[in-house]
Amino acid sequence: MNLKFKNIDSYNYNEAINLKVKESQEGFIETVSECLGEAKELSLWRPVGIYDNNEIIGFAMYGLWKNEDSLGRVWLDRFMIGENFQGNGYGKVSLKSIINKIAKEYKCSEIYLSIYENNTVAIDLYKKFGFEFNGELDRNGELVMKLEV
């Protein structure tokens, strides 16, 4: 595996929006197209393609969400591996790489994400990397997990 991240731009937009998760996972994450729409509306989000050599195998979106009353939180807002690439170890390697990228980029000590409680496969993966539930719900009612980095 030779993983790298590339910002989504006009050159790789179409290959990014063609990434899909398995049908059984569709309710757990927005489409890449919806994510890119959000990133266009809110400049805090950084959407990236996850590549193995020159082939896009996944997508992630992260950013610093600031509240009026705090310094804000760094969120791994979206993370997915395309259905055709699942089951090949990309999830673990990519998650480790994106965590390292986010921690370095933001010089943060915590990374947050939110997840549906019935998304047990993803919860198990995140727990293996040290994410823990913090007892909060996000504004959509999803459970919040936090990683100390």
Q: Annotated catalytic sites, by residue?
A: 126
Beta bridge partners of 126: none
* Residue 62, C-beta contacts closer than 8 angstroms, at least 6 positions apart: 45, 46, 48, 74, 75, 76, 77, 78, 98, 102
Beta bridge partners of 36: none
Question: Residue 110: in which H helix or E strand, if any?
Answer: strand 110-115
Q: What distance in Å separates the CA atoms of residue 13 and residue 54, rounded to the nearest whole number?
A: 14
Q: What distance in Å separates the CA atoms of residue 117 and residue 138, rounded to the nearest whole number?
A: 12
Rg (CA), the chain: 15
